[in-house]
Structure 1
Amino acid sequence: MDKPATPARQALFFTRRQAWQRVAWLTGLALASASPLHAATMDPAVLPRVQAATFEVVIPKPEKDPITYEKPLPLDQLPYQERTDKYHSVGTAFAIGENRYVTAGHVLALGIDSLMGEPAVRDAAGHVYAIDKITRYSLHEDFVEFTLKDPPKVAPLAVNTQPEMNQVVYAVGNALGTGIVIRDGLYTSQTPEDQDGRWKWLRFSAAASPGNSGGPLLDKDGKVIGVVVMKSPDENLNFALPIDLVLKAPANLGDIDVRETYQLDAIEDKHTGTFKAQFPLPKSFADFSATYQKLHNADVDQKLHDLLTEQAGTMFPNGPGSNRLLHSTSTLDPFPTLLHRDSNGEWVIARAGAGKAPLPHNGYLARAMVGQQVMFHLRKPDDVSSKQLFGDSKIFMDLVLKAAPLQRRVGSEPVKITSLGQPSLQRDFTDNYQRRWQIREWPMAYDNGLIIAFLLPVPDGYAAMLRITNNRTEHEDMSDMKQLANYVYVSYSGTLGQWKEFLANSSLLPSVLSDIAIHFDYGDAFKYQSSRLGFAYTPSLQKIDAESQLVLGMSYFQDRGKTVWDVSRVDVKSNVENAEHVSLSRHVAPSDDLDDGFRNSWGKIVNRTHPDDGVPYSENDMTYIGTVGGTQANASSKPAVLYTAFYGVDGPRPDDTMKGKLNLLMEKLQVNEH
């Protein structure tokens, strides 16, 4: 879900969602450089009052870490304060009345559904105070007011709701987690907030660093004029919310009113809508968090629904943009990728330049970034059975980490993570095409991160789709991925030995395989039978053993007015390395709107011209022979579906030998649809 480019939102996602990604599994992010610190020149008489009324916002560090590392974490590389602190310092808050405290809304939002715990405030002496109640909140204006349990006795900061332009101001805040500092600059200008100009941000030149969010912006007399919400990314002109807006906000009310956009990776179109709600306060932080999360999740669901409704006429498989794909034979690619609607409105298979890393015992991991998710194809090692892999998701993630190392940086040293342990969530999901996915989640509590994995069992291991996120956005990522599962393009490939294990896991098989019978006896016979197609052969055609390779080329096509995901091509090789193979492909009569390329290809099949004429030919050091199977086809019969059958082998072969091979393949070929 895309977020609006408001200062508050940029600050929120910079602080946490992107913070998880800085572990740089696939890409890396870096904190923007802080501006040089300015020397504070505040009246010494005012300084103690300001320091006493300003607090760090902290979140507890996880007490237990289930993650396994390649070696003990070199925590001695961290600064003493950081490694001994039981809390993460994430922002700033300040006292504005008797037991009334204010911070930026996005600072406390870090604790919503957090893996770490509830936020609290800490004073300069190190005393930590728990939040009691949330009393005011605005997502749009990006502030929150709250009370504390057993609050300290401090004099609240005075306020100035009519600050003068071009006067000295002081930004007070938790600079880079090193405690409260004060830096000077000028109140330079105002700028309308991005959504609809409902108010104007204060712009100021005092330096601000990550952690300053939620701190007070003071005038020359030490009075609060605003709440610091964002550091400018390009220049040292930063943003503060006028304090007048906080004071005038309705008491005991949570207000949400922001415009957001939703996009699904399968299409470029976006849905823009308003996340708008109000709820009563005060609430404990736990209740506030649960209320906000429930409203947010409902809004996400509604925006996704609205987007799909708006695009219903052209979402695959609907609309003319789907026809080319619905009339195409499988690519046989076992690497999973997504269907995507291009700028011309045509549905295509998204390109995925997968990188491959080896695993022991003939295993490997191929991965590529497709949209917001990492797509994986795990070819399991030979010493791991399908039952073990599908039954223990720790094995899957351990293999992924072995081939695609994930690192936790401690100080200047990256340390490999060797295991995330057992997933914290395990559930099953069936997509619109009756493919059965295993959904798994692994928490990364040390950085409030979360890995969501959609695992699709395939004969040689897993086809998988992963996202890196956090608990707060888990629902929207999960909703996205459930939708995207319907657009995953993948074929099923494996050795006959792998297929034998895979087919034994009946509860994990896609429903299409329940209508297909695959039987084989090594050294004796191979048989494939479905409601569409049947064929069989013996070793006189080609070798049949555990290392023979079977690929079911899957694709989307129309069947009696309904789009199905089914087999459109079957390839069987004598083994993985040998080029000898048989291939049977399904072809569909083109619709009138398709271009001449489809009609020409179909015409050649109907009229049994080259390469479907039963005459051997050579191509790329291979010898092939092919024909059209089933009912005799001709131009007048106007068939809707035809199958071609091919035999290929490496090197030159006599014509009689090739024709004999083709006859063996055709002897038991049965085409059941026309």
Structure 2
Amino acid sequence: MQTSNGLGREAVSKACAVLYRVALTVCLVALALGQSPRVYAASPDPSMVSKIDAATFEVVIPRAVDDPLTYEKPLPLDLLPYQERTDKYFSIGTAFAIGHNRYVTAGHVFLAAVGDLTGPPALRDASGRVYAIDKIEKFSLQQDFVMFSLKEQPNGDAALETNAKPSMNSVVYAVGNALGTGVVIRDGLYTSDTPEDENGRWKWMRFSAAASPGNSGGPLLDQNGKVIGVVLMKSPNENLNYALPIGEVLNASDSTAVMDKRESYELDIIEENQNGAFKAQFPLPTSYDDFSANYLKLLDRNSEDLLKALLQQQGKDLFPHGAGSNHILHDTPELSLFPELIVRNRSGQWVYSGRELNRVPLSGNGYVASGYVGHNFLTHLRRPDDMKAATFYNDPKQMMDLVLKTGYWTRQVGPEKVKIVSLGKPASDTTYTDNWQRRWKVFVWSLPYINAQMVVFALPTPDGYTIMMRMNPSVGTHDSMIDLKALTDFLNVDYGGTLAQWKDFLADKSLLPEVLKDARVDVDYGKHFRYTANNVTFGYPITLQPIDPDNLLAVGVGYYENHDKFALQTGVVQLRLNTTDPDRISIKRHIAPSADLDDNFKEGWGKLVHKQHPYDGVPYNDGDEMDIATVVDAPANNAPSELYTAFYATQGTHKPEEMKAKLDLLTQQLKVKSP
């Protein structure tokens, strides 16, 4: 994910304000709308007010007309102020005229509309008339301004004069569409200059006149009503605001859009960032549509380059190759059906991160379990038993409708939050295969009313889906897409479900990851069960354990090295009668510990090699259950690189010979193969 110092995409996210983290809710910051009376807290000479008023405009974007979403009830739009519920536009900032058909606003105001789902930005005057943008004449990302023309000129063609050499400590007026409530003029002093942060290429003007978010792009005037700067941002640490000197706008190139700005890229699995510069140009003047297309193309390419550089720089240290990977590589899979990201902690160790924080039950034994890691919303969706697999895996609307039953996604209407119950059909439906050869379904849903999109990566599993998703302003969809593609290689997923669900899942080859493409589950209910994978085969009769459609089969996959390459392979196979019964069978694969692992690994490995307790084939009590385990085909040289164990557990207390007979039934058909 690309980050910045407050302009560009960060400004877009502020304008759109689509957030979800700890509370796992969607908070929508409504933008106040224009066409309100002009208010003046402090004004220049009254004779100048009408001229300032005529030359200052709101920057607006169209409000969504069609809404693809469905809500739990009709939206109570009557709770909104009259102006807000009747206005066809969102107000996002301020612009002003400085000559015949020459208009200026802040770059980040203009970029807030790039990639918008509802239409291009426009200017609106005090009477409510809207004017379409014609050509982009000047643009600087780092100086944060844009100059443009309109397709149709407002009556009177009013414009403000400029003053490129204002006096320090003089009275100034900040003019802007403060908080979207109409144009406001507020007074203060031009207090000082400060160099821009990167290398002092120009100086920002600092002033004490009050400025609100909607002031962005408005003019900073001297006491004679002449433009001396473009209002851009607030100071983070003091009660001062910043403007770009108007001389920088007047002297800028009128033939080239310039991007030359420091950027930083971060990925949720590591703390290190990739720093770089967004440097690019393209010719001006150009239409708004061509400007948007060129800018987004270059911005997206820059994001891709930064992510690629970050992954290359960290390449030798990334899981599973990097130092600190051995704990996961040499441990048996956790059999966690909830998704986990593999992240590097501060001590340099790669660890599993992510846990279930909430679970919402669905009909037919289904549920939606949810949590998050970093910017990523993680979900395990269990398919309801009464929902056919073919329909479930091929209907993204139905899948997302189930996820929305968590109730986390709402639309704020005045003081009320109304639950979103459906996003409709996705705007895009594609697939992606990660480096572990797992096949993801990738969906993007649009939420036009907040200019946002939901990006969803859904991995089919026997019992439903493992899901990783983000909500972002529409301009950020590309960044979310490349981020999530990169993160799929670090998402740990085990596979589980009932025997009936496994039958449906394995029958659809388009759903299967490479690790399960050769897996077979042969079941004769009430008689016999058999599981076959690339490295292990076993089976057992009903005399060992009941065999029913509701039995739970879990396959834990691990990361195993083979000829200097890593691949996902079966690490654990476990069968349980159900979620509550302790009776279970498991076959586990164990890897010899590396030299850097702690004594717990080495001690456990020693017990395996020498068939010591609990792997000696002797039953033992563990709480309210009795267990028995043995090592399968341990080599005689006592220096194996991997070993397999067979384990059986049942509730209550049983005779030793009965437990040994059970274990014998399991091991009789157990065969280990080289992967």
TM-score by length of 1: 0.96
Residue 451 (1) aligns with residue 454 (2): yes
d(CA) in 1 for partners of 2:10 and 2:333?
42
d(CA) in 2 for partners of 1:96 and 1:217?
12
Q: Secondary structure at the match of 1:310?
A: helix
1:279 matched residue in structure 2: 282
Q: 1:308 aligns with which of 311, 320, 343?
A: 311
How far is the alpha carbon of 1:11 from its aligned partner? 4.0
How far is the alpha carbon of 1:195 from its aligned partner? 2.2
Residue 43 (1) aligns with residue 45 (2): yes
d(CA) in 2 for partners of 1:513 and 1:592?
31
1:471 matched residue in structure 2: 474
d(CA) in 1 for partners of 2:367 and 2:316?
40
Amino acid of the residue matched to residue 132 of structure 1?
D
Closer, same or farther in 2 for the Cα pair 1:23/1:172, shift >3 Å?
A: farther
1:669 matched residue in structure 2: 670
Contact 1:557–1:565 at 8 Å: present in 2 too?
yes
Provide structure 1 residue ranges, at least 5 long, that are not aligned to the other structure.
none
Q: 1:371 aligns with which of 348, 371, 374?
A: 374
Could you tell me the percent identity over the aligned residues?
50
Q: Secondary structure at the match of 1:45?
A: helix
Residue 599 (1) aligns with residue 602 (2): yes
2:108 matched residue in structure 1: 106
2:58 matched residue in structure 1: 56
Range with greater deviation from structure 2 (544-553 or 521-530): 521-530
d(CA) in 2 for partners of 1:512 and 1:594?
27
d(CA) in 2 for partners of 1:21 and 1:48?
44
How far is the alpha carbon of 1:404 from its aligned partner? 3.2
d(CA) in 2 for partners of 1:173 and 1:578?
67
Closer, same or farther in 2 for the Cα pair 1:523/1:566, shift >3 Å?
A: same
RMSD: 2.0
Residue 419 (1) aligns with residue 422 (2): yes
Amino acid of the residue matched to residue 529 of structure 2?
F
d(CA) in 2 for partners of 1:340 and 1:19?
25
How far is the alpha carbon of 1:673 from its aligned partner? 3.0
Contact 1:92–1:213 at 8 Å: present in 2 too?
yes
Residue 622 (1) aligns with residue 625 (2): yes
How far is the alpha carbon of 1:403 from its aligned partner? 2.1
How far is the alpha carbon of 1:8 from its aligned partner? 6.8
Q: Secondary structure at the match of 1:312?
A: helix
d(CA) in 1 for partners of 2:138 and 2:127?
27
1:146 matched residue in structure 2: 148
Contact 1:90–1:107 at 8 Å: present in 2 too?
yes
How many residue pairs align between the two structures? 668
Amino acid of the residue matched to residue 620 of structure 1?
G
Matches within 5 A, 1:17-166: 18-19=17-18, 25-26=24-25, 28=27, 39-152=41-154, 153-166=156-169
Residue 349 (1) aligns with residue 352 (2): yes
Q: Secondary structure at the match of 1:289?
A: helix
1:441 matched residue in structure 2: 444
Contact 1:582–1:648 at 8 Å: present in 2 too?
yes
1:560 matched residue in structure 2: 563
Residue 460 (1) aligns with residue 459 (2): no
How far is the alpha carbon of 1:545 from its aligned partner? 0.5
TM-score by length of 2: 0.96
- Post-superposition Cα deviations, 1:150-204, rounded to whole Å, max 9, x if no partner, equal 1123231111112222222111111222221111122222222222222222122
- Post-superposition Cα deviations, 1:565-604, rounded to whole Å, max 9, x if no partner, equal 1210000012232110101100011222323222211111
Closer, same or farther in 2 for the Cα pair 1:343/1:20, shift >3 Å?
A: closer
Matches within 5 A, 1:459-608: 459-608=462-611
Q: Secondary structure at the match of 1:277?
A: strand
Contact 1:20–1:447 at 8 Å: present in 2 too?
no
How far is the alpha carbon of 1:38 from its aligned partner? 7.7
d(CA) in 1 for partners of 2:384 and 2:236?
47
Contact 2:77–2:413 at 8 Å: present in 1 too?
yes
Amino acid of the residue matched to residue 428 of structure 1?
T
How far is the alpha carbon of 1:447 from its aligned partner? 0.3
How far is the alpha carbon of 1:359 from its aligned partner? 1.5
Amino acid of the residue matched to residue 367 of structure 2?
Y
Contact 1:571–1:584 at 8 Å: present in 2 too?
yes
d(CA) in 2 for partners of 1:479 and 1:55?
37
Q: Secondary structure at the match of 2:213?
A: coil
Provide structure 2 residue ranges, at least 5 long, that are not aligned to the other structure.
33-38
1:5 matched residue in structure 2: 5
Range with greater deviation from structure 2 (535-544 or 353-362): 353-362
Q: 2:292 aligns with which of 289, 293, 296?
A: 289
2:652 matched residue in structure 1: 651
- Post-superposition Cα deviations, 1:410-434, rounded to whole Å, max 9, x if no partner, equal 1111111111101010001111111
